[in-house]
Amino acid sequence: MEKRPSARGDAPDRGYGWFVFASAFFVFRLSFGIIKAFGVFYVEITHYFETMATEASWIMSIAVATVHIGTLIGTVLSTRCRHRVVVMTGGLLVSVGMVAGSVSQNLVQLYVTVGFLAGLGYAVCWTPTMTMLALYFQRRRPMANALASVGECIITFLITPFFQLLVDWYSWQGTMLILAGLERNLCLCGALLRPLRLARDNPGKEVAAPAGRASPRSGQRAELQTRILHCVDYTLITNKHFVIYTLSGVFSSVGFFTPSLFLVPYARSRGITEYQAASLMSISAACDLMGRVACGWLANLRLCETIKLLMGTMSSLGAVLLLCQLAGSFAELAAFSVAYGLVYRATVSIHITVLAEQVAVAQVGSALSFFMLIRSCGGLLGPPMAGVFINKMNDYGMGFVIAGVVHVVSAIFLLLLQ
């Protein structure tokens, strides 16, 4: 007889959890990995539509913001339907968005298709998968999150130069069609998700009816409140640690995707060839992998508080980004890519773990949703804000300066949690 996961609320850390881990690994590859590699399309789209950095940057800005906003939708849908159905639906949305984006006639259509539709699909895939991963792992959660996120850097390492080759062969429109087929694999990731029965922190605790008569109206109000809490736990807004951590996330999200979006254009503006510029993303992704695994392993040793480790990586990331302006040659940009990759994804590998430590286990899904929703403000404004400074100064390096400053501010917010 098949052994089912524990029904007591204890994460098994083994068994079928590794299939859920595999799903999360590939979801990272096919969502944030593709977003990071979009810099190759960015240059071609800018030339094709004869537009400026600010206008073209809105494509990924809208996608990133939609990913963050859409996480709440993913959580609500997951409470009404099975996680696997939600993720498979998200995979279809991403594929449809990429197909429609390949025939776009102007930037506005790209905003709607690649930006909004594909972004919504990514969100609907990502939140249920990461929630399931957090539920299936407890003792090994830092390492599980770190290794799952490695999928993002692996595909960035492999696919960025390949995208450049495909763009040269088939144009950016043809490459986007190929990408649409690749994104269909998100449906397979959803098929791997199996429900885990999780006991609430206080099983049997219900919303108490007022003293005296249990009037029909108060009973209906209590039932409605219970249903809402089952879908989205809005009581998180009273959690001081969660609020402070989310504010830190808002600032970091302003500069989260800006460097990967502008690294290839910045290198080409410094006279670096197309394929050398694309290879910088591969170099960054290779070091990205090492940074994730090393930081996840270190966090799993519990030698220091995870929040302190995150504060250290966040501060280091800000410093590295601020130093990017000093890089001009390919060798210098390669050295920057190494340092950037190591600290950038070391930060990513543990930030979900730190979030899970700020709330109760049963609140992880809602916490992820609210965290990503509020971060959407920074994700939406980050690339266009950098684009404004880039256009004004006529220097792609300004995008890295903005990203560096906001990451330092984010690290300062983490001090408040000490």
Question: pLDDT for 238-282, tens place per residue?
Answer: 888 888 888 888 888 888 777 877 888 888 888 888 888 878 877
- Between these two residues, 226 and 341, which has the higher pLDDT value? 341
Q: Please report the pLDDT score of residue 276 as a whole number.
A: 86
- In angstroms, the CA 182 to CA 166 distance is 14
Question: pLDDT for 12-26, tens place per residue?
Answer: 666 788 888 888 888
Q: Please report the pLDDT score of residue 68 as a whole number.
A: 74
Q: Quick one: DSSP state of residue 304?
A: S
Both structure tokens of 242? 């969660």
- In angstroms, the CA 281 to CA 312 distance is 24
Say yes or no to pLDDT of 412 above 50.
Answer: yes
% of the chain beyond a pLDDT of 90: 9
HSE-CB for 139 with a 13 A CA cutoff: 4
CA-nearest of 161, 62, 162, 44 to 102 is: 44
| Helix or strand holding residue 298 (H, E) | helix 274-301
Q: Please report the pLDDT score of residue 60 as a whole number.
A: 79
Say yes or no to pLDDT of 211 above 70.
Answer: no
Average pLDDT over residues 186-194: 88
Cα 160 from chain centroid?
18
- Between these two residues, 388 and 36, which has the higher pLDDT value? 388
Question: pLDDT for 169-183, tens place per residue?
Answer: 888 889 889 989 988
**What crossing angle do the helices spanning 53-80 and 39-48 adopt, rounded to 10°?**
130
Burial 37-57 (b: 16+ CB within 10 A, else e): bbbbbbbbbbeeeeeebbbbb
Instruction: Specify whether the CB–CB gap between 5 and 136 falls below 8 A.
Output: yes
- Between these two residues, 100 and 12, which has the higher pLDDT value? 100
DSSP-H helix ranges across 81-198: 83-102, 107-110, 118-136, 141-183, 186-191
Question: pLDDT for 105-159, tens place per residue?
Answer: 888 999 999 889 998 999 888 888 888 887 788 777 777 777 776 666 677 667 7
Average pLDDT over residues 203-220: 47
- In angstroms, the CA 206 to CA 187 distance is 36
What average pLDDT does the structure give for the chain? 78
The pTM for the full model equals 0.63
17-197+234-415: CATH topology? Growth Hormone; Chain: A; (1.20.1250)
Q: Please report the pLDDT score of residue 228 as a whole number.
A: 54
